[in-house]
Amino acid sequence: MYHREQTRAVQVGNLTIGGNNEVVIQSMTMTKTADVQATVEEIHQLEEAGCQIVRVTVNNMEAAEAIKEIKKQIQIPLVADIHFDYKLALKAIENGIDKVRINPGNIGRKERVQEVVRACKEKGVPIRIGVNAGSLEKHLLEKYGYPTAEAMVESALHHIRILEDLDFHDIIVSLKASDVPLTIEAYTKAAAAFNYPLHLGITEAGTLFAGTVKSAAGLGALLAQGIGSTIRISLSAEPVEEIKVCRELLKAFGLASNAATLISCPTCGRIEIDLISVANDIENYISKIKAPIKVAVLGCAVNGPGEAREADIGIAGARGEGLLFRHGEVVRKIPEDELVDELKKEIDNLAEIYERT
């Protein structure tokens, strides 16, 4: 099986996907792409939340034309999502797109595929092949009866071969399904079949809560095996929420070197502070910190600091006051009403030290 570090490194704008590189976080805008201002605004929000690559729908010529202006106003690589129409792909490439998501087997005549591949080669634009269990080729459904992991991998290989025959290898592949076990099986088989980087996702995962659980279950199983070079969490929610989930998931596997982690106690009868609101406040505060620090928020000092020895900095509630601790050792006592502000100052200091080193 190809673990992520054994996959081919593929350049997407100023980022590299695959090889030894960190897992890249992606999302997709929900604006009309032709509406440049709205699309750029949404992309800026995503960038700020930690999105590293963003995809936009290119479903008509106006959208393909808009890419030129959008590109001027954003920092992260831009991907065009195209179904079937090779002319849209050519226009998107001409206008500076960084990656095209299109299945070569769906473009039609060979000359059209050749034209798209030639344009991609000229501009150094990679292609993502997006296999979806819900839209498998007819002959595969006839062969397998229904969407199976084998059918999905066979579909991916079919599209890959079309590109390889044209000596094109800057390929990234996704094999999405809304069924979690099917997704895990498809990606696991794909990781055994070829070494192109895999873009992970559970499609149509659901709402913020259910979709998060479903995506974490499926993508977590894959990340734990070393599979996946880039991920998107697909939620029926604001795209920024997808980024938050991506970051949290990568942190859980130690795959995010630029994000802070919160450790908070589960609460019990010993609790001495309003732990739930403090934990939410600190979680929100550290979401913008770009350093791998661990922050603990604990309800009491009885087992508190010792329960969070791995934390770089933390607080534990005590009657009328709180304790500030580092790596399980109490540093000083702080009045309760200053506890959160003091913790935030300490977090900022630590983040600054990381930035300097």
Q: Considering the rule CB under 6 A, would residue 309 count as an interface residue with ligand SF4?
A: no
CA distance 185 to 193: 12
Q: Which residues contact 15 (CB under 8 A, 6 or more apart)?
A: 21, 24, 52, 53, 76, 77
CA distance 243 to 187: 21
- Using the contact rule CB under 6 A, the part of the chain among 79-87, 93-101, 261-269, 277-285 near ligand SF4 is 261-269
Q: Which residue in the set 197, 201, 239, 304 belongs to the binding site for ligand SF4 (CB under 6 A)?
A: 304
| 269: three-class secondary structure by DSSP | coil
Write the interaction track for ligand SF4 spanning residues 114-153; mark x where CB under 6 A is met and - where it is not. Answer: ----------------------------------------
Q: Which residues are bridge partners to 321 per DSSP? A: 318, 335
Per the structure block, which two tokens stand in for 168?
């094109």
For residues 10 and 301, which CB has a smaller minimum distance to ligand SF4 in the complex? 301
Q: Which residue in the set 142, 146, 266, 356 belongs to the binding site for ligand SF4 (CB under 6 A)?
A: 266
For residues 239 and 304, which CB has a smaller minimum distance to ligand SF4 in the complex? 304
Q: Does the annotation list 307 as a binding residue?
A: yes
CA distance 117 to 102: 11
Dihedral-angle region of residue 165 (phi above 0 means left; psi in -120 to 50 means alpha; beta otherwise) = alpha
Q: What are the start-end ranges of the E strands in the chain?
A: 10-12, 15-17, 24-28, 53-57, 78-81, 99-101, 127-132, 171-176, 199-200, 230-232, 261-264, 294-298, 313-318, 321-326, 329-335
Counting Cβ atoms within 10 Å, is residue 156 exposed (0-12), middle (13-18) or buried (19+)? Answer: buried
Q: How far is the CB of 280 from ligand SF4 (least distance, A)?
A: 15
Q: Does the annotation list 268 as a binding residue?
A: yes
- Using the contact rule CB under 6 A, the part of the chain among 29-37, 47-55, 294-302, 339-347 near ligand SF4 is 294-302
Q: Considering the rule CB under 6 A, would residue 16 count as an interface residue with ligand SF4?
A: no
Q: Does the annotation list 51 as a binding residue?
A: no
Other CB atoms within 10 Å distance of the CB of residue 160: 22
- Using the contact rule CB under 6 A, the part of the chain among 2-10, 23-31, 302-310, 336-344 near ligand SF4 is 302-310
Q: Considering the rule CB under 6 A, would residue 305 count as an interface residue with ligand SF4?
A: no
Write the interaction track for ligand SF4 spanning residues 221-260; mark x where CB under 6 A is met and - where it is not. Answer: ----------------------------------------
Q: Considering the rule CB under 6 A, would residue 65 count as an interface residue with ligand SF4?
A: no
Residues contributing to the site for ligand SF4 (CB under 6 A): 265-268, 270-271, 298-300, 302-304, 307
